[in-house]
């Protein structure tokens, strides 16, 4: 009976002996690799003049802070602008350009440009290996009349570039996933 | 061997014939458990080929024995037959213990026959081997739906999480061969890592009536047991081969069991399952392929007085997730909801591309038990589990083939259980548990950790008892205490930390400030008390009533505490809360069972009141560069769930049988006075079955599954501005899909091949009419229809 008691005691105490290991390793931080924090559209008047920039900047990615959207100034009516986009990941130092990645996989990416109140029209300048538009380079032509409206720039990953209207810049049938969607309030004067 | 011993004995008897033959053997036969004398036991004296019987005091006397060995075979009704050899050198006294609870011992029960129940008064249903074999090509979650009141919450068709009375994930305990599964079960798209082909019997216990396994089973407990071993020299096995049209799937599973009369045994089982893209009635569900491997081996020795077992199982599931469900923002979700067909539909393929998950689960267990006279049984078990989970997202550039989620969860558990069954009127069981768990989130993913690195410590102690008050009434009661400590190292974005208000409440846990990120060390302790009591009363030979009350306490899981990020397929930001405390469930239930004249009725009702029920609720909208996202927070409220489950079957004639299972449940948020989300709607399943034993056990059944529309749901719809269209639209994520009705067919025959070999051929057709439907509890219902018709053929060879 004595050995029995001892055995039971040992068995009962055993479970409490497991919880003793501990390691105080500090895990390394993770810097998001695929975050796009900043989109800058630089619009240079085709006939020369001061460039206008549209920028959205969201330094905390999916965090709670809203993106900071800036428009450097009004656009001139009846003018064609040469546009170029720059995408950055500013969580890394120095900031990493995402343009390279998009250029390398240009068949899987497409930008879409839309304007409300018919304040502007857009045309693609750069194309992928299949002759489908990409949109890192584009032209923006403002309406002849003055007005205000919203310009929306959307980046879709793996869109259906062959779907109806997509190569003309119509987003309706594009599908894919939205990587960027930024809206800028623009004044045409 | 037996003959050899006998002849040896006869031989030796012959040699010593001339010696002293006036010896007396006095004996006493007692119950192993409580030492009460066993009267009228039969004692067979082998060499004399003579029977005697023990007297009222369990005593017996054999006179005029010669020197040498005497072999006695003692048997008694309800006892295990025992062979004892006594060496006679002079007059002797021998005490012999018989095991009197043979019917309760699974070690000696015949395989697949007797049902082993885990509890006496709780609402428990058992799925037997025969039923489980029908689901060889499917999932645990599919098989459990055979039980009324059990449903599932799905992510597509391959990720099926069981749901008991509306509760799932962390609110259910799953035990695989007495090991509590630790496989990151907090995630709604984390299916249990169980190979259903390794299961011989599954018990579903509604509520937490069985405290031996844990005190946090607010929804219920699923106990999966592998095949038992018979105490005789035998070798048997089975092989199942199946093929199905939908997904062009095929599966094979094989098992082999070897056991010896001496108690030694070894089992091995392996299965492989593969399918390509499933098909809804109108289109392929692109990227819904699956590859699954399961292996389990066990060996050991089981005898009445002591035994041990070593068990190892491995499950590897690679599951593709519907391509069209991977979306970028709310606009994509709006487009998906408004489009009848998924946005990505390709031709059939076996390829499993991103998004996908690949989960490997190892389980290793060692168990030892010993019985002590006049006392009971002591069991010690150690188990180790390693759960490696990869989730692959659609990524770009160098990260394309890199997992977006890489979690490794390792768990060590040591348990001791003691059963005191020396007294006939009551049984007492108590046990202790110690557990250490370590979660490692690999930073190489290049994606911020969804769940942080953490260590978790659990200590538990319980005591349960059963009394047979009289022939008709049984009572049981139990109490349990659990201590949990979670010690995490988590990075927060500084902006999130401040937005959550943690800068005021948790400033002391910051251990490093990296500017945009903070490293914190949250350490939380939880003390949980759980309690259960119940009674079972036999009304007469055909019917009984039972009632149960259980108090269960569940601490928040890592997801509820620490979730922090964008959930792609749901297009929402999900946030945990460090301030969450345990939820407390008070569940009362009652059952009525009648079995008479071919009629079986089981009615089970329950009311589950949960204080501080943890759930996700939308609380606002956040803007990001991807667009606007609704934010869902883990919150606590008081909730009540109640319902009735009905199972009924009736034998119309020798050939025809009808059956019905129905489940009705309501879930209410008492604080906000709304319905709870993701509660199953009323479901009723009717079945007609024809059997004809003369035609090789032919059976055919037609099953109608009718799932009603869920009319009680919280309105979590929200509005979003579609900039490109310059309009605001309502995003309807709440409205459940309409009711649907499906018809299924199943038929099988048993063809004997030889004395020990038979072949079972089964043909089944699911969704006969190729009906289009979407299920409320399928998280991919926004994106695609559910499965269309599926014809399955399965061959099973038992040998």
User: Is residue B451 one of the residues assigned to a domain?
Assistant: yes
Domain region containing B133:
123-223
- When scoring A24, A58, A62 by the number of chain B Cβ atoms within 10 A, the one with the most, hence best to mutate, is A62
Q: Which is higher by pLDDT, B412 or B95?
A: B412
Q: Is residue B416 part of a domain?
A: yes
Residue A3 pLDDT: 59
| Of the listed ranges B166-170, B227-231, B364-368, the one predicted with least confidence | B227-231
* Closest CB to A33 among B399, B624, B726: B399
Least confident of A83-92, B3-12, B325-334, B686-695: B3-12
- Shared domain for B133 and B39, answered yes or no, is no
- A119-168 confidence digits (pLDDT tens): 999 999 999 999 999 999 999 999 999 999 999 999 999 899 998 999 99
User: How far apart are the C-alpha atoms of B151 and B217, rounded to whole Å?
Assistant: 16
Pairing state between β B92-98 and B23-31: parallel
CATH code of the domain containing B431: 2.40.170.20
**Chain-chain contact of A62 with B565 (C-beta, under 8 angstroms):** yes
Q: Give contacts of B 470-489 with A, CB under 8 A.
A: 489
The mean per-residue pLDDT over the stretch B545-559 comes to 95
Q: Which of B393, B488, B405, B408 is nearest to B447 (CA)?
A: B405
User: Within this chain, do residues B412 and B544 fall inside the same structural domain, yes or no?
Assistant: yes
Give the residue on A whose Cα is nearest the Cα of B436. Answer: A19
Distance of CA B116 to the CA centre of its chain: 14
Distance (Å, rounded) from C-alpha B190 to C-alpha B453? Answer: 18
**Domain check: are B674 and B583 in the same one?**
yes
Do residues B697 and B586 both lie within one domain?
A: yes
Q: Is residue B310 part of a domain?
A: no
Which of A28-32, A145-149, B307-311, B524-528 has the least mean pLDDT? A28-32
pLDDT band at A7 (very low <50, low <70, confident <90, very high): low
User: What is the CATH classification number for the domain harbouring B166?
Assistant: 2.170.130.10
Is B186 in contact with B407 (CB distance < 8 Å)?
no
pLDDT for the residue numbered B48? 82
Among B370, B566, B625, the strongest candidate for a mutation testing the A interface, having the largest count of A CBs within 10 A, is B625
Q: What is the mean pLDDT of residues B550-574?
A: 89
Looking at per-residue pLDDT, the higher value among A19 and B376 belongs to B376
Distance from CA of B343 to the nearest CA of A (A): 6
What is the tens place of the pLDDT at every residue in A111-120? Answer: 999 998 899 9
Residues of A in contact with B335 (CB under 8 A): 175
Reported confidence tier of residue B702, pLDDT bands at 50, 70, 90:
very high
pLDDT confidence of residue A14: 55
**Residues B764 and B716 grouped into a single domain:** yes
Give ipTM to 2 decimals: 0.83
pLDDT band at B96 (very low <50, low <70, confident <90, very high): confident
For position B385, what pLDDT does the model report?
A: 97
Mean pLDDT of chain A: 87
Rounded Cα distance between B615 and B632, Å, is: 9
Name the least confident of A24-38, A74-88, B97-111, B261-275: B97-111
Residue B277 domain-assigned (yes or no):
no
The reply to whether B56 and B205 lie within a common domain is no
Q: Provide the pLDDT for residue B108.
A: 34
How far does A129 lie from chain B, in Å, by closest CA?
Answer: 17
Check: CB of residue B200 under 8 Å from CB of residue B225: yes
| The residue to which tokens 């059976």 are assigned | B699
* Count: domains in chain B: 3
Candidate from B58-62, B481-485, B704-708 with smallest mean pLDDT: B58-62
Residue A30 clears pLDDT 50, i.e. is over it: yes
pLDDT at A9 over 60: no
Higher-confidence position of B88 and B507: B507
In a domain, B734, yes or no: yes
First and final C-alpha spacing in chain B: 25
As a whole number, mean pLDDT of residues B549-572 equals 89
* Domain end marker among B100, B132, B164: B100
CB contact under 8 A, A30 and B443: yes
Q: Do B538 and B595 reside in the same domain of the chain? A: yes
* Cβ <8 Å between A15 and B415: yes
Q: Sort B514 into a burial class: Cβ within 10 Å, 0-12 / 13-18 / 19+.
A: exposed
Q: Looking at the domain assignment, is residue B168 inside a domain? A: yes
Which residue matches tokens 């092989």? B239
Whether residue B15 is found in the same domain as residue B136: no
**B415 and B501 inside one domain:** yes
Read off the pLDDT band of B9 (50, 70, 90).
very low
**Residue B105 covered by a domain:** no
A65 vs B: CB within 8 A: yes
**Domain final position from B50, B67, B100:** B100
More confident call, B374 vs A110: A110
How far, in Å, CA of B408 to CA of B385, rounded? Answer: 10
Q: Which is more confidently placed, B250 or B50? A: B250
Is the predicted pLDDT of residue A101 greater than 70, yes or no?
A: yes
Instruction: Say if residue B161 is in the same domain as residue B208.
Output: yes
Structure tokens at B740: 């649907």
Asked if residue B144 lies in contact with residue B248, where contact means CB atoms within 8 angstroms, the answer is no
Say whether pLDDT at B280 is over 90: yes
B48-52, B283-287, B423-427, B782-786: least confident range: B423-427
| Residue B94 and residue B134 in one domain | no
B22: pLDDT strictly greater than 90: no
| pLDDT tens digits, one per residue of B722-756 | 876 778 899 899 999 999 999 999 999 999 998 88
Which of A14, A67, A112 is facing B624, going by the closest CB pair?
A67
What is the average per-residue pLDDT within B334-355? 90
* Least confident window among B4-18, B434-448, B529-543, B682-696: B4-18
Which is nearest to B245 in space by CA: B764, B795, B784, B786? B764
Q: What band does B14 get if pLDDT is binned at 50, 70 and 90?
A: very low
Lowest model confidence (mean pLDDT) among A11-15, B393-397, B401-405, B484-488: A11-15
Q: Which residue has the higher pLDDT, A19 or A150?
A: A150
Q: Judge if B15 and B130 occupy the same domain.
A: no
The nearest CA of chain A is from the CA of B395 a distance in Å of 8
Least confident of A70-84, B284-298, B623-637: B623-637
Indicate which CATH number applies to the domain containing B23: 2.60.40.10
Q: What value does the mean pLDDT of chain B take?
A: 89
Residue B648 inside a domain? The answer is yes
Is A32 in the B-facing interface, judged by CB distances under 8 Å?
A: yes
């Amino acid at each position: 009976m004595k050995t029995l008691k001892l055995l039971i005691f040992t068995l009962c105490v055993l479970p409490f002996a497991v919880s003793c290991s501990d390691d105080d390793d500090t895990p390394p931080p993770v810097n998001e690799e695929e975050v796009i924090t900043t989109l800058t559209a630089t619009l240079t008047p085709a006939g020369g003049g001061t460039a206008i920039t549209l920028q959205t900047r969201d330094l905390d990615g999916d965090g709670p802070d809203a993106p900071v959207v800036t428009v450097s100034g009004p656009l001139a009516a009846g003018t064609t602008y040469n546009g170029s986009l720059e995408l950055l990941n500013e969580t890394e130092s120095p900031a990493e350009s995402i343009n390279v990645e998009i250029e390398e996989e240009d068949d899987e990416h497409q930008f879409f440009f839309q304007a409300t109140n018919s304040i502007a029209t857009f045309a693609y300048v750069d194309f992928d290996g299949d002759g489908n538009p990409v949109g890192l380079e584009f032209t923006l032509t403002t309406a002849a009349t003055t007005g205000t409206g919203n310009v929306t720039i959307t980046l879709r990953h793996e869109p259906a570039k062959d779907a109806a209207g997509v190569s003309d810049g119509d987003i309706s049938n594009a599908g894919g996933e939205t990587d960027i969607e930024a809206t800028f309030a623009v004044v045409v004067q | 061997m037996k003959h050899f011993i006998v002849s040896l004995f006869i031989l030796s008897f012959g040699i010593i014939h001339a010696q002293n033959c006036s010896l007396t053997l006095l004996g006493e036969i007692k119950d192993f458990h409580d030492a009460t004398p066993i009267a009228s036991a039969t004692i067979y004296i082998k060499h004399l080929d003579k029977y005697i019987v023990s007297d009222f005091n369990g005593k017996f006397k054999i006179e005029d024995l010669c020197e040498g060995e005497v072999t006695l075979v003692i048997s008694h009704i309800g006892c295990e037959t025992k062979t004892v050899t006594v060496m006679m050198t002079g007059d002797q006294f021998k005490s012999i213990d018989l095991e009197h609870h043979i019917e309760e011992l699974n070690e000696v029960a015949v395989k697949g026959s007797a049902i082993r129940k885990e509890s006496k008064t709780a609402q428990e249903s058992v799925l037997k081997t025969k039923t489980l074999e029908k689901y060889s090509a499917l999932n645990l979650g599919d098989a459990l739906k055979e039980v009324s009141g059990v449903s599932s919450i799905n992510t597509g068709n391959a990720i099926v999480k069981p749901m008991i009375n509306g509760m799932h994930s962390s609110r259910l305990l799953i035990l695989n061969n007495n090991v509590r599964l630790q496989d990151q079960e907090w995630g709604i798209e984390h299916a249990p890592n169980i190979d259903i082909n390794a299961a011989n019997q599954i018990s579903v216990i509604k509520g937490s009536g069985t405290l031996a396994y844990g005190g946090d089973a607010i929804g219920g407990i699923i106990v999966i047991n592998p095949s038992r071993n018979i105490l005789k020299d035998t070798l048997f096995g089975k092989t199942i081969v199946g093929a199905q049209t939908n997904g062009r799937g095929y599966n094979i599973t094989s098992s082999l069991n070897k056991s010896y009369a001496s108690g030694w045994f070894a089992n091995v089982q392996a299965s492989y399952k593969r399918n390509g893209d499933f098909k809804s009635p109108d289109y392929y569900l692109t990227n819904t392929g699956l590859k699954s491997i399961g292996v389990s081996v066990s060996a050991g020795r089981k005898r009445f007085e002591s035994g041990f077992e070593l068990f190892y199982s491995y499950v590897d599931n690679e599951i593709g997730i519907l391509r069209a469900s991977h979306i970028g923002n709310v606009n994509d979700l709006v487009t998906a909801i408004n489009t009848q067909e998924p946005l990505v539909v390709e031709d059939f393929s076996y390829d499993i591309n991103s998004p996908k998950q690949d989960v490997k689960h190892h389980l290793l267990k060692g168990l030892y038990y010993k019985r002590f006279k006049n006392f009971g049984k002591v069991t010690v078990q150690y188990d180790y589990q390693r759960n490696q989970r990869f989730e692959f997202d659609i990524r770009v550039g160098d990260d394309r083939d890199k997992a977006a989620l890489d979690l490794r969860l390792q768990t060590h558990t040591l348990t001791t259980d003691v059963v005191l069954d020396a007294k006939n009127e009551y049984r007492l069981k108590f046990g202790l548990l110690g557990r250490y768990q370590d979660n490692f989130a690999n930073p190489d993913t290049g994606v911020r950790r969804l769940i942080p690195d953490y260590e978790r410590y659990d200590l538990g102690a319980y005591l349960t008892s059963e009394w047979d008050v009289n022939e008709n009434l049984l009572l049981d009661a139990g109490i349990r205490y659990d201590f949990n400590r979670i010690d995490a190292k988590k990075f927060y974005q500084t902006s999130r930390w401040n937005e959550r208000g943690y800068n005021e409440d948790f400033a002391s846990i910051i251990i490093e400030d990296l500017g945009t990120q903070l490293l914190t060390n949250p350490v939380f302790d939880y003390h949980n008390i759980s309690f259960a009591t119940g009674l079972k009363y036999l009304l007469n030979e055909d019917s009984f009533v039972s009632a149960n009350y259980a108090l269960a306490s569940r601490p928040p899981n890592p997801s509820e505490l620490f979730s922090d990020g964008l959930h792609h397929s749901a297009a929402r930001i999900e946030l945990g809360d460090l301030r969450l405390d345990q939820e407390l469930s008070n569940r009362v239930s009652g059952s009525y069972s009648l079995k008479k004249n071919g009629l079986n009725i089981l009615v089970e009702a329950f009311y589950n009141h949960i204080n501080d029920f943890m759930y996700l609720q939308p609380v606002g909208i956040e803007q990001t560069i991807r667009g606007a996202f609704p934010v869902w927070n883990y919150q606590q409220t008081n909730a009540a769930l109640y319902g009735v489950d009905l199972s009924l079957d009736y034998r119309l004639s020798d050939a025809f049988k009808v059956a019905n299972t129905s489940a009705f449940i309501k879930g209410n948020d008492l604080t906000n006075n709304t319905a709870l989300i993701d509660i199953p709607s009323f479901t009723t399943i009717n079945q007609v079955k024809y059997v004809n034993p003369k035609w090789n056990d032919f059976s055919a059944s037609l099953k109608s599954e009718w799932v009603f529309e869920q009319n009680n749901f919280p309105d979590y719809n929200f509005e979003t501005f579609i900039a490109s269209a310059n309009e605001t639209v309502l995003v309807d994520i709440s409205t459940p899909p309409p009711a649907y009705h499906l018809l299924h067919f199943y038929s099988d025959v048993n063809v004997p091949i030889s004395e020990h070999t038979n072949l079972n051929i089964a043909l089944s057709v699911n969704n006969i009419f190729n009906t289009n439907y979407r299920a409320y509890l399928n998280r991919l219902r926004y994106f695609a229809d559910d499965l269309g018709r599926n014809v399955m053929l399965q061959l099973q060879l038992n040998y």
